[in-house]
Each structure stands twice: as C-alpha cells, then as structure tokens.
Structure 1
Amino acid sequence: MTTTLNLPASADEKDATPGLMTIWKAKPWHWLPVVVAVGLLIFIFFDGLTSMLSAWESEEYSHGYMLPLVAALLIWQRSSLLAQTCFQTSWSGVLLTLFGLSVYLVGELGTLYTLIQYGLLITLGGICLSFMGWRAFRIILPAYALLFFTVPLPSFLYNNLSSELQLISSQLGVFVIRLFGITVFLEGNVIDLGTYQLQVVEACSGLRYLFPLSALGFIAAILFKGAFWKKAVLFLSTLPITVLMNSFRIGMIGVLVNYGGVGMAEGFIHDFEGWVIFMACTALLVLEMWVLARIGPDRLPLRDAFSIEGPEPLPPSVRVVERRLSWSFYPIIPVLLVVATVSQLLPQREEIIPERTEFLFFPSTLAAWQGRTDRLEKQYIDALQFDDYLLADYGDGSGDTVNLYAAYYSSQRKGASVHSPKSCLPGGGWRINEFSQREIAGAGGQPLRVNRSLIQMGDERLLVYYWFQQRGRVMTNEYLVKWFLFWDALTRQRTDGALVRLTTRVPLDADVAKKDALLADFIHLIDAPLRRFIPE
C-alpha cells in the first residue's frame, strides 16, 4: 500500500524535473557529525542510561529492551518517505535540545534519574529536529514517541497507580469468584475464601501487564491503517483490557485455590497463569483491531488494516540530489561539547546520607508508656523497600494502647520512597470515615501538623495520625513531599526522610475526642526522641 505525505514543496523540489521523482542522499561525511552527536549524547547521559537499563531488569519494564529496536523498524518502514523529503533548517530543534540539556543538568544536580532520563529523550528529539526539520521529523515522530515508554514511572506515581489497581482488581476478582457460586469475603486487597486467604499484593496489581501492553497498543496504533479515533481507541483500551484480564486471573486463582488448595496460587502454576493472561490480552487487542477495521467508512480487511511492511520501493528512474547539513545542526555539537565539559567539571555530587541512630535503639519506655517491638512480614518489607523501620505497641497500663510505625529511607532518588497510608489503608479493607489535618504542640512547644484519619472495618475502628518527616520538615501533603524531595536533592544533595504513623483503637462506644487527646499527648512524648533517628 503506497503512503503519501502532502507537504509543501521546498525550493529544491520546485526545481526538480517534472514527472521525475526526486530523492535525497547523503554522502558518508554527512553522517559523521551525527555519529559525533550521538557519541556525546551517550557520554553525557551515561548514568541515566545505566539506571534505565537496570530498571529494565524488572518484570514491569523488561519490554524496554525491545522498544528501541521497534522504533528503528518503524523508521526503516518510512525510509522511502524520508528519502523523498528534503531536510530543512529548524531552530526550534536547537531550543528543544537546550531545554533537554537543562532538564539533564537539573536532574544531575538533584541526583534524580527520572529527570535525567526524560532529559535524554527530549535532547534526542531536539537533535533529530535540528538535523532534519519539521517535515521529516513528523515522519519519524511515532517512532520517537515510542521511546518514552522506556522510561520507568516516578516511584510515587507507580505506588499510587499500583494501589488503585490492586483495589479494583480485588473487587472484580471477587465478582468472578462469586460467579462460580463460591462464598467469598473481601477486605480491601484480602480475599477470604474461608479456609484460605489470598492477598492481592503489589505484584498482582496488573502493572506487569499494563506497561508492556500499553507499549504494544501504541505500536499497534502506529501500524493500524485507519482513522485517528480508531488508533486512539486501540491505544487507550489497553488499560481496561489489563484491568479486566488481571481481575479475571485473580478470580480464577481464587476458584482454583478453593478447589485445589493454596498450591494453585504459587510456583509454576501462578507464573503460567500470568503468561496465559498476557497472551489473552494480546489476543483481545487483535480482536479489537479486527472490529475497528470492519466499522466506519474506511473499512478494510484486517490483513490490509494491520500489516508490517517494508519501505515502498523507489522507481528505477529518479533524480538524486545530495543532502546538505541543515544550518540548525551546526550549533548542536558545540552545545553538547560544552555540556559534556560542564558535567565533568561540576563537583562530584554524590548524595549525602546523614548519620543516624537505628530504630533498634528507640526507647521502649516513654513516661508511663511501655513498648514492645514487633516485626513486619517479609512481603511487606520487600514491597516498602525502606532502609530501617520501627514497629512497636505501647501501653500505659490503663488499657490504652498506641501502635507506633516509622519507616526511614536513606535515599529516595532511585525508586524507593514513602508510601502514603491514605492510599495503602483501603487495601487492608479499611474504610476512611473522616480525614483532616490537626495541629499539635510538639517538643519545645513547636506546632506539629499531622494527618488525622478515622477508619473502620466492620465493628472495628482505628484513629490514625501520620505525617512525613523529611530533612527537618514535617509535612502532610504527599505531593508537597515530592516537591521538596526534588528541591532538597538539588540544593542539599539529600533525599532521606521518613513516614511516622500512630494508631489507636476506638471502640464504637468510645469518645473519639479522648482518643485524639491520647495521640496528641503521645506525639508530645516521641517528638524529641524521633529527632535522633530521623535526621534534621
């Protein structure tokens, strides 16, 4: 199928012989500046590339190895169009390159790999645009956009998305189990089958399907020959397909466990089910393409609407014109050289990890309160990825108890970061009845603003206070935490911090105000000791 691109003719094209196709070819020396620019790009962004390759080792991003190859294939498919397109000067490409390098410098100074990786892709786009101009860049734009799927999500976006998908998948999975006439009870992410309990952990959120499937959907949308709205539907449908199929998988695991025991949710069977579900997601994507190809005025058989073809052959008689290096590309190499030099001359900005006392030595006696430490299960430790934590139950002898949990991260720039209880508590089956902020007097009379939440599950109620204690700041807003995480990484070379959470039981007939006063008094007791364990 021949592809045409209606673009305004350049001066060279107007001079072309009538009726004879004009193609542009570059001399070997023409590509030498491009090779130098790519080499400088790799040199500048080497740390960011290394970090990205490490992320591709995880199951969620293992498809990252494939995407650059697919992007190269998409460009090859359009090589005939590129040969027929005159490269033009584009100074906006220089500006985009400068912007990408600025993002890199900010990320480098702040030791934030996510910014460095996005800076790499932005700079790459700017270099391509300055080299070929807008007319040719539009031809490779889909392949370029595909590369953004190689960058791992920032950790706080990943955690929030994972928590939401866990809840949705758990609810829909229980619906599937009930279709088989099985009695089941759901508490957040815990599926209670009576004899067995299944927990929908982070690994079962569906992100291991969503990330590769969304990239696959984007590739399918590029190759699909149809209206733009069909391409958009094809790509956007990957999210509901992932959620529904992952929920079906969870439901079927529940059914198999009910009849065959907990072994049906472990080992080879568990992994094989995951592979089958991903293949089923791919099959649904193909079915969707078939349906889209058969509707609307631009109907086509699927083999014509979706096919992987090589570049269109050029006619035997063509007018060959030598490509000239665009004027906008000349500043690129000097700019890259300057940034490469600056990056080497900058003082080594290794992240500062402050010294602190381990939570192991946190006092077990606080005035009249006596504490008893506890341990988290390994699955929670692996999911939260903290460097140190404290979990202890304190009692005052009169029947009142307070659970103290603190998670400390020495660095939050490589993915591990605090998890907000606001997104995690619903996963345990708790319903948030009240949520607000409260100001409490801390040590030395300093005000301490905390999040206050009254949660309930069945007849059990808990009062929860929590806050983010990060590098001398006490914050309640998780998005403000992310901003200061970036700012302190940039200005102080630190990303350490902690989450502190207090919990006490509130019987249905108890006075909530008294429990508020209880937690406020307890905060007054722990505020000063915590400063030894959470650096200012």
Structure 2
Amino acid sequence: MKNARFLPHFAIALGAALLAIAILYWPGIAELLRDWSSREEYSHGYFIPLVSLMLVWQQWPTLAQLRFSGSWNGLGLVIVALLLLLIGQLSTIYLVVHVSLILLLTGLVWAFTGLGAMRILWVPLIYLVFMIPFPPFLHNQMSLGLQLLSSEIGVWFIRLFGISVFLEGNVIDLGSYQLQVVDACSGLRYLFPLMSFGFLIAYFFRAPWWQRVIVFASTVPITVAMNSFRIGVTGLLVEYFGIGAAEGFLHDFEGWIIFMACTALLLAEVWLFVRFSGHFRESRSFGAALALDWPEPLPAGFVPSERSVPKPFWAAVALLALTAATMPFLQARPVESLARESLTVFPEEIGQWEGTPEILQDNILKSLDLTDYFIGDFIGGGDRRVNFYAAFYDSQGAGESAHSPRSCIPGGGWRIEDLQRISLDGLFVTGQPLRVNRLKIQRGEDKQLVYYWFQQRGRVLTNEYAVKWFLFWDALTRNRTDGALVRLTTVIQPWEDWADGDRRLREFAALAVPELGRFIPD
C-alpha cells in the first residue's frame, strides 16, 4: 500500500518531539510500566497503545487521502497539557501527569493533521485513557466498595443452597472456615480490562448510539454479578471440598473462567440487540453487526502528495523543546536549608510514656522515599499502648510524597469502618487547633483506632486533595515542598470500646504534639 510522502524535515520535527516527550514524561511513563507489571488490575495496559495503533491502521486509507492542514487549536491543547504536567509534577499526582501525556499526544496530532483527521483519530486517542491506573486513594475506595457489595451478593448465593453462613463486613464465616474477600477479590482485575474491551465492542458495534452506551456501561454490573458468583462458588467448594478449594491453582483458574464468562456475557448482550432490535430488521447477522474490517485498498491510480510540516506543529515542537530545556531548572531551584532536628532523635520518653523505636525494612523505606522518620510503640502503664509514626520529607515530588494511611491501610487487609474529622481540644499546631482524621479500622476480630494528619509548611491538613493543592501552590510561590505525616494508632482490646481508644490517643497526643515543633518546620 502506498503511503503519503513526507518531506525530510518531518523526521526532524517528529524526532525532536519524541525526544522532548521522553525527557519530560519518562518518570510518568516508568510509573505506568511499574503499575502494569506489578498490579494485575492494570496488566492489560501493555496492550492499550498497541490496540490504539491498530485502530489508526484500520483508518489509514482514509487518512492517506486527507489533506493535513494543521490546527492552532492543537497548539492550545499542547499548552494545556504542559501546564497539567507542571501541576502533576509539583503536586505529586501521577494521574495528572498521565492525563497530560494523553492530552499532549492529542494536541500534537491535532496540530499536525487538523480537524478533518481528528474526527477519525479521536477514538484511538481516547482509548489510551484505559491504560491509566486510578490514584491509590480512589482505587482503594472502589475496591472496598466492591468487596462489600460482592460479599453480600455472594453470601445470598450461598444461602440459596441451604448453607448457614454469616457475613461481617467482607468476612464470610462458614463455621469451619472464614473467607475474607480481600482487595484481590474485589473484581477490579476483571472490571478494568472488561471496560477497555467493552469500549472496543461498543466502537465496532454498528448500532444506534444508545445501544453502544448500554453495552459499554453494562461492563460494571456484569463484573459485579460474575465476581459475586465466583465468591459464592468458592464458598460452596469450601463447604463441600475443604479449604484447599479456596486457595492455589483452583482459585486462580476459577478467576480466568469468570473473566471469560464476563466476556461471553458482553458478546451475548450484543447478540440480543442484533436478534431482537428493530435496527437490525434487514440483517440479523452477528458478524455483520460486530466486525473488525480490514483497511480498504486505496483507489486505483492514487498518487500520494508530498506533505510539509504545518506551522502549528512546528510551534508545538518548539514549545515542547523549550519546556524540556527549562523544566529541570524549575524543579532544581535552590532550596534554603530548613532549621530542624532529625526525627531519628525524637524522645523515647514523653511524660509517663516510654517508647521503643523500630526500624522499617529496606523495601518499605525505598517505597516511602522519606527523609527521616520515627516509629515505635509507647507504653503508658499497664496495657495502654500507642504506636507513634512520623515521617518527614524535605522535598516532595511525583512518587516522593507522604503516603496517606487511607491508601495504605487497606493494603494490610484492614477495613476502614468509619472516618471522621475531629478537633483535639486544647491542642494547637502553629497557632491552629489540631484537627485529625479519626479512623476505625478492623481486620477480622482485631480493631484499631487511628488518628492522622499532614503537618506541612505551617499548615495542618486532613484532606489528601488539599495536601496536593498546597504542594503545588507552595512549590510555585515559596519554592518549598517539605512536609510530614503524623499517625497515632492504638489497639482496641476485646473488653474495650472505641471511647477507651480515644482517651488513650488524646492523652498521648497532648504530650507528643508539642515535641513535634523542632522536627517539623513551619
């Protein structure tokens, strides 16, 4: 197949653009690759760019015959993308960086091809959204919600077979064995790939728009229903064949079967539309309604025209090169040294509380990427015990920031039962009343009460999104991104209630918080 001929300087412009993208976005791209390789929910991410290119290839004969006039609107989108990149880098939110990358690619294509080609290419570009992982906080919230919902439906299914079962949160008690519906069983590892597949089916489905929307939207209830069915079947297998049925190869193999069943249900939904919808009255062929067409041949005698690089694309490449040259200097602005002591010398005795410092494992320290920290149990007499953790970061960037306990706690198998924001009466930090996040967490029969807050550059914050905003704002206006996370945790014993834990944490906080001033600068 003959292709449109590009003048030699197109290679120069394209090479410069790719080099600038690599310089600016490599940390974000590397984070994408880490997520795809380490998190099963996003392992399909490797295929998304390839499928997107396939969608472009499918339209190549049409594109080859279009005149690429370029568009200054594309340059405007490139500017928006680069501003988002700056916000993402300074606010430490990789999601913003990844969205910026897709907008940048869209802007470059738009600046080069113009509006006519964008009417064809917008679907392959939009499809790239499915390769972006959700931020940890939102991912964990979705996972917890799906765990609870799938557990309830799964227990309902088990009871249909006359089996006595008790559900507490996401723990299914069968008497002889307890099944815990953890993060890996939430259904997200089915949902995200199925949504990307459902988008493709809706795209290729030659049907009215409302039918396409229904097909895509149905990926969510299909995933929830089939994952709940899987949990129910696992409970039945445990009841009749023992706990080995819930572990190992059978459990994984069962997961593959469920995903294939989800795909089959999605295709069955398309078949029902084809079979019974009036739109397909003339032809009820499933293959004709859902077909991946090969590119049609170019017209006989077609002679490709030479294509120069449009001015908007040159301007976008120049802006990219300028940003790639200046961004390292912006991020590496000299920062004044902070007058503070290291948390490694935090006092091990506070009032009547005596502490025993702990050392975090190297792999944990590497993932946290903090400057210094203190963690240890403080005993205040009898069985009164509080775990104190404070982590300080002298600078925070994308991938190097305080990790919210709301994101980390579910990773340890704990379930957040309740979250409130409360004030600790009589306690002040930098002249502000101390407000904290109060979490009730539970894992099986174990209960803990957690207080935590972010103490950053003279502010006390409890909202994770506010933390990101002020990181961005202070990086621009004060050239500072330092800050700390402070967390207090106590175990709620079987004979205690939550109020006993509140008294313990408040008593310890009244003594520990005044000590933090010399370790966390205003």
Partner residue, 2:298: 314
Residue in structure 2 matching 1:341, options 311, 314, 325: 325
Partner residue, 1:442: 427
Q: How many Å apart are 1:237 and its aligned residue?
A: 1.4
Q: How many Å apart are 1:106 and its aligned residue?
A: 3.2
Q: How many Å apart are 1:531 and its aligned residue?
A: 6.2
Which letter does structure 1 place at the counterpart of 2:4?
K
Q: Provide the aligned length of Structure 1 versus Structure 2.
A: 501
Work out whether residues 94 and 398 of structure 2, in 8 Å CA contact, stay in contact via their aligned partners in 1.
yes
Partner residue, 1:49: 29
Aligned partners of 2:65, 2:408: CA distance in 1, in Å?
56
1:418 maps to 2:399: no
Q: How many Å apart are 1:127 and its aligned residue?
A: 0.5
Residue in structure 2 matching 1:214, options 187, 195, 201: 195
1:376-411 deviation per Cα after TM superposition (whole angstroms, max 9, x unaligned): 9x9xx99x98987857585655x8x46546475867
1:262-310 deviation per Cα after TM superposition (whole angstroms, max 9, x unaligned): 2222221221111111111111111112123334332242101111111
Quote the RMSD (CA, aligned, Å).
Answer: 4.2
Partner residue, 2:488: 500
Distance verdict in 2 for CA 1:252–1:123, change over 3 Å: same
1:170 maps to 2:155: no
Work out whether residues 257 and 265 of structure 1, in 8 Å CA contact, stay in contact via their aligned partners in 2.
yes
1:298 maps to 2:279: yes
1:99-138 alignment, distance < 5 Å:
99-110=80-91, 112-138=93-119
Aligned partners of 2:374, 2:180: CA distance in 1, in Å?
22
Partner residue, 1:274: 255
Residue in structure 2 matching 1:195, options 176, 186, 194: 176
1:294-329 deviation per Cα after TM superposition (whole angstroms, max 9, x unaligned): 343322421011111111233325576544543322
% same residue: 40
1:475 maps to 2:456: no
Distance verdict in 2 for CA 1:191–1:522, change over 3 Å: same
**Worse-superposed segment, 265-274 or 406-415:** 406-415
Work out whether residues 438 and 452 of structure 2, in 8 Å CA contact, stay in contact via their aligned partners in 1.
no
Q: How many Å apart are 1:258 and its aligned residue?
A: 2.1
1:25-70 deviation per Cα after TM superposition (whole angstroms, max 9, x unaligned): 3335374233442343233322222222222102121111111111
Work out whether residues 71 and 147 of structure 1, in 8 Å CA contact, stay in contact via their aligned partners in 2.
yes
Distance verdict in 2 for CA 1:443–1:506, change over 3 Å: farther
Residue in structure 2 matching 1:86, options 67, 89, 92: 67
Give the TM-score of the pair, scaled to structure 1.
Answer: 0.79
Aligned partners of 2:186, 2:319: CA distance in 1, in Å?
44
Distance verdict in 2 for CA 1:389–1:197, change over 3 Å: farther
Aligned partners of 2:369, 2:259: CA distance in 1, in Å?
31
1:230 maps to 2:211: yes
1:345-424 alignment, distance < 5 Å:
345-346=329-330, 348=332, 356-357=342-343, 363=348, 367-368=351-352, 392=377, 394=379, 396-397=381-382, 401=384, 403-404=386-387, 406=389, 408=391, 413-414=398-399, 417-420=403-406
Work out whether residues 191 and 220 of structure 2, in 8 Å CA contact, stay in contact via their aligned partners in 1.
yes
**Worse-superposed segment, 31-40 or 245-254:** 31-40
Residue in structure 1 matching 2:8, options 22, 29, 39: 29
SS in 2 for 1:440: strand
Distance verdict in 2 for CA 1:463–1:358, change over 3 Å: same
Aligned partners of 2:498, 2:30: CA distance in 1, in Å?
55
Distance verdict in 2 for CA 1:325–1:476, change over 3 Å: closer
Aligned partners of 1:205, 1:532: CA distance in 2, in Å?
43
SS in 2 for 1:492: coil
Work out whether residues 150 and 186 of structure 2, in 8 Å CA contact, stay in contact via their aligned partners in 1.
yes
**Worse-superposed segment, 44-53 or 470-479:** 470-479
Distance verdict in 2 for CA 1:225–1:251, change over 3 Å: same
Q: List gaps (5 residues or longer) in structure 2.
A: none
Q: How many Å apart are 1:212 and its aligned residue?
A: 1.3
Work out whether residues 7 and 307 of structure 2, in 8 Å CA contact, stay in contact via their aligned partners in 1.
no
Q: How many Å apart are 1:503 and its aligned residue?
A: 6.1
Aligned partners of 2:307, 2:183: CA distance in 1, in Å?
52
Residue in structure 2 matching 1:255, options 236, 252, 272: 236
Which letter does structure 2 place at the counterpart of 1:302?
F
1:472-528 deviation per Cα after TM superposition (whole angstroms, max 9, x unaligned): 5433334334434555676434465244345657979x996x886665333212323
Partner residue, 1:527: 513
Q: How many Å apart are 1:94 and its aligned residue?
A: 0.6
Q: How many Å apart are 1:82 and its aligned residue?
A: 1.6
Q: How many Å apart are 1:252 and its aligned residue?
A: 1.6
SS in 1 for 2:403: coil
1:162-216 deviation per Cα after TM superposition (whole angstroms, max 9, x unaligned): 2212221222222222222221111112111112112222222222111211111
Q: How many Å apart are 1:343 and its aligned residue?
A: 3.0
Work out whether residues 440 and 449 of structure 1, in 8 Å CA contact, stay in contact via their aligned partners in 2.
no
Which letter does structure 2 place at the counterpart of 1:186?
L
Aligned partners of 2:407, 2:197: CA distance in 1, in Å?
33
1:182 maps to 2:167: no
Work out whether residues 438 and 450 of structure 1, in 8 Å CA contact, stay in contact via their aligned partners in 2.
yes
Q: How many Å apart are 1:72 and its aligned residue?
A: 0.9
1:103-127 deviation per Cα after TM superposition (whole angstroms, max 9, x unaligned): 2233344554333322221111100
SS in 2 for 1:330: helix
Work out whether residues 90 and 471 of structure 2, in 8 Å CA contact, stay in contact via their aligned partners in 1.
no
**Worse-superposed segment, 56-65 or 521-530:** 521-530
Q: List gaps (5 residues or longer) in structure 1.
A: 1-22
Distance verdict in 2 for CA 1:41–1:275, change over 3 Å: same
Q: How many Å apart are 1:243 and its aligned residue?
A: 1.6
**Worse-superposed segment, 242-251 or 401-410:** 401-410
SS in 2 for 1:298: helix
